[in-house]
Amino acid sequence: MNRIPSLFRIAPLAAILVLNLLLNPFSASGQNPQKDIIRINTTASSLVLGVDNQGQLKQLYFGKRMDDSLPEGAVQQAAAAFPAYGTNVSDAALRITHADGNLTTRLVYERNSVSKIDANVTQWTIFLKDAYYPLQVRLCYKTYNDQNIIEQWMELEHKEKTPVMLYNFASASFAFQSPGAAAPGAHLNYFYGDWAKEFNAVETALTEGTKVLDSKLGVRTDQMTNPSFLLALNGKMDEEHGEVFAGALAWPGNWQFRFEMDYQKRLQVTAGMNPFASQYQLTPGTVFKTPAFLFTFSADGSGEVTRRFHRWARKYGIKDGYASRDILLNNWEATYFDFDEAKLSTIIKDAASMGFELFLLDDGWFGNKYPRNNDNAGLGDWAVNTKKLPHGIPYLIEQCRQHNLKFGLWVEPEMVNPKSELYEKHPEWALTAPHRDIDVQRNQLILDLANPAVQDYVYGVLEKVVADNKGISYLKWDCNRYLTNPGSAYLPKDQQSHIFIEYSRGLMKVLDRFRKKFPDVTMMVCSGGGGRMDYGTMPYFQEYWPSDNTDALDRIKIQWGANHFYPALGLASHVSVTPNHMTGRTTPLKFRFDVAMSGKLGMDLQPGMMTPEEKAFSKKAIQTYKEIRNVVLHGDLYRIQSPYTHARAAIAYVSEKQDSALVFNYLQRKSIYGDNTTIKLKGLKKDARYKLTEINKGTFTRLEAYEGKTFTGEYLMTTGVQFTMYNEFESAVVLLTSL
């Protein structure tokens, strides 16, 4: 007998459940069983929704592309597509207290519309209304057909006589049925950490109860947990096999993912803004719009999830996704706050001699009454420090121009030191609760971006910095603390719980305004490291800083975790000093370059601190990166061997045309008998012939048997390449070029 796709899961995991539906056809009301069936398709996936005979919107199917008709009873037995509180006891995607005090909401289907935006993008809008109150919910779905990504968000408005209170306001909700007692269960994969320890990958089996991933940091998304996950539906996650549901929230503030499994192993996933301490008073006629939840379903493992998100990001999710990226030199680890014109001029000259393309001046360039000589003072006073830089920023820009370098500058416009002229003038602009001691982190407070006047100020700071210093081509935007002790002098007392939402909205208004005025300025987002790696922030930025930890060994795992959702195109990866200032670890220069070149290469190690041999190696490596960076920045990523399960970690990038590839190998710890792992490549053309060349060669090579020789793609993917590595921090990067 042919299997029928399951209610909520792709066959065969729950196909047998559909047979039960055949016993529960539509009631004899004359309703057409295929009426109001909404198919939201991409090339490889389908989300099918339907309306039951009570008018409720149900999720009928989500999985691999499926165009067949569904059994007649499917709608009645299916789970709600967007459950509102009051009809059952499962997690509520929407929970409202109405103007008259009613705690319940009953959503019924009105209609749907479809809009073809272009050849690749289509938007569905499903209109729901409360069965009694004048309240409408619009569920919006945007499909990116070729990338197999779906974007979902919710819009709500009402015409009740007085405000309603929103308590839960998810962007999306999904239901998955049990695969059966004998089958392996769902495994959740996510990324947690802390400052300098971001993006640790963890996998856990989901059992009965509720698992919550969230952030309450207020003004930045993550660092402790990234707003993304992969849910392997039939056992542990695998790169190439198995069904995987994966998603990421496009929002720069508090967020929450809930995974609720009941006794019958039915799983509900709810994703959106974090409702914690954020009940929202919505006035009549005002539209409340949630951030987009981006998701995909892969029948071919987690590797396919990654490549879909990366392809989507390059086209839609990151600014200038098809452009190249400059190789920059940052002064921070060489000087910290202790610099002047002479020091910087020397660094600029050295940077040019090494082949860098951009010089970035980090923290410490501003403040006069309260000079920025440490992190105790000056934030908020964005006038150049005339003692350090008597000729101002234009002098440094001219120095860079003379050496064919671009110039970049560090800013942290959302923050203020209590020891600053800005705070003396506007203490009410800082977010802090009344009748409480001020709570500083890194000696700073957060400006209240819920306040339009503060938004204007922050935008004005950025506009003035760029406009007054013609030639600035790059800004590093930092955010070095999270929100505690929340309180806004601008918001009324009955709207203090709006702080988290309105701050993020205010931030995005500033970013949107800046981008419209200065579309060509490259920007890196940084937040004490990887605190703002999310798809709500990234459309405004070309680059993102995943961690303040630049130790090459630690960066292997940090970047391994980050690359599950965020492409190398913007993932800033820098070569830094050794022993590393953070870990104290000493690693070879080649190892540091090989790790950094798997992302967007940059450098904090200053040429003036190098030996002649190190300079020569670095100069050659920088030139090599210029030749191969397009493969890294715009290629498809294949994770070959995990740093969590093997001494040797390996990843590969394959160009879109499959005519070139790069394989990065890193030995994390010493192997007495040698690590002779066979590396089987992926993503190549079977019948193409590829020439192998090691790049960034050190004092020895392990690839003598392969150097300069050619092999078919099929051989490289089935037989693979085998060479032995022995020493910790040993690395090898292999370039494959089709003939």
pLDDT tens-place string over residues 390-432: 999 999 999 999 999 999 999 999 999 999 999 999 999 999 9
Dist. CA 45–CA 296, nearest whole Å: 8
* Interval 239-243 mean pLDDT: 97
| Complete edge-to-edge strand list for the sheet that includes strand 660-667 | 636-641, 648-654, 660-667, 730-738, 689-695, 710-712
Is the bond preceding 579 in cis, omega lying within 30 degrees of 0? yes
Positions at the binding site: 195, 362-363, 442, 476-480, 526, 548
Token duo for residue 85: 């509180």
Dist. CA 512–CA 506, nearest whole Å: 10
Residue 34 has pLDDT above 60, yes or no: no
Dist. CA 31–CA 50, nearest whole Å: 12
Angle at 606 (CA atoms; ends 604, 608), nearest 5 degrees? 175
Dist. CA 575–CA 328, nearest whole Å: 11
pLDDT on residue 77:
86
Catalytic residue among 326, 478, 554, 636: 478
Tell me which residue has tokens 């207290």.
97
Dist. CA 617–CA 590, nearest whole Å: 8
Could you tell me the pLDDT band of residue 671, with boundaries at 50, 70 and 90? Answer: confident
Which range among 8-17, 148-157, 400-409 shows the weakest confidence by mean pLDDT? 8-17
Q: How far is CA 725 from CA 83, 587, 669, 670, in A?
A: 54, 16, 10, 9
pLDDT over 90 percentage in the chain: 89
Token duo for residue 116: 């073809």
pLDDT on residue 5:
35
pLDDT on residue 19:
30
Q: How far is CA 18 from CA 8, 45, 61, 174, 267, in A?
A: 10, 19, 11, 18, 17
For 358-394, b/e burial (b = at least 16 CB within 10 A) is bbbbbbbbbbeebbbbebbbbbbbbbbbeebbeebbb
Residue 22 has pLDDT above 80, yes or no: no
Residue 33 has pLDDT above 50, yes or no: no
Dist. CA 360–CA 343, nearest whole Å: 13
Dist. CA 167–CA 170, nearest whole Å: 10
pLDDT 10s digits, 622-637: 999 999 999 999 999 9
Topology of the domain comprising 638-738:
Immunoglobulin-like (2.60.40)
For 233-244, b/e burial (b = at least 16 CB within 10 A) is bbbebebeebbb
Catalytic residue among 350, 548, 636, 675: 548
Token duo for residue 266: 């039915």
Q: How far is CA 430 from CA 370, 416, 427, 632, in A?
A: 18, 8, 6, 42
pLDDT 10s digits, 574-624: 999 999 999 999 999 999 999 999 999 999 989 999 999 999 999 999 999
**Which run of H or E residues covers position 661?**
strand 660-667
* Interval 339-350 mean pLDDT: 97
Query: Of 522, 568, 565, 526, which is closest to residue 546 (Cα–Cα)?
Result: 526
pLDDT 10s digits, 694-707: 999 998 889 999 99
Token duo for residue 534: 């999310």
Residue 470 has pLDDT above 70, yes or no: yes
Could you tell me the pLDDT band of residue 184, with boundaries at 50, 70 and 90? Answer: confident
* Interval 200-206 mean pLDDT: 97
Question: Using CB atoms within 10 A of its CB, is residue 246 exposed (0-12), middle (13-18) or buried (19+)?
Answer: buried
Token duo for residue 619: 């100069």
Which range among 184-188, 595-599, 682-686 shows the weakest confidence by mean pLDDT? 184-188
Positions at the binding site for substrate: 195, 362-363, 442, 476-480, 526, 548
* Interval 272-279 mean pLDDT: 98
Evaluate whether 602 touches 573 at the Cβ level (below 8 Å): yes
* DSSP letters spanning 706-737: TTT-EEEHHHHHHT-EE--B-STTEEEEEEEE
pLDDT over 70 percentage in the chain: 94
* DSSP letters spanning 172-205: EEEEE----TTS---EEEEEE--TT---EEEEEE
φ, ψ (nearest 5 deg) of residue 289:
-115, 130
Of residues 3 and 103, which shows the higher confidence score? 103
Domain 15-317 CATH assignment equals 2.40.50.100: no
* Interval 231-255 mean pLDDT: 97
The whole model's pTM is what?
A: 0.95
Residue 551 has pLDDT above 50, yes or no: yes
Q: Which part of the chain has CATH 2.60.40.1180?
A: 638-738
Active site residue 478: yes
Mean pLDDT of the chain: 94
Active site residue 437: no
Q: Is the dihedral of CA 708, 632, 664, 720 positive or negative?
A: negative
pLDDT on residue 545:
98
pLDDT on residue 672:
87
Q: Which part of the chain has CATH 2.70.98.60?
A: 15-317
Eight-state DSSP code of residue 460: H
Could you tell me the pLDDT band of residue 222, with boundaries at 50, 70 and 90? Answer: confident
Query: Are β-strands 187-192 and 200-205 bridged in parallel, bridged antiparallel, or unpaired?
Result: antiparallel
* Interval 279-288 mean pLDDT: 99
* Interval 280-302 mean pLDDT: 99
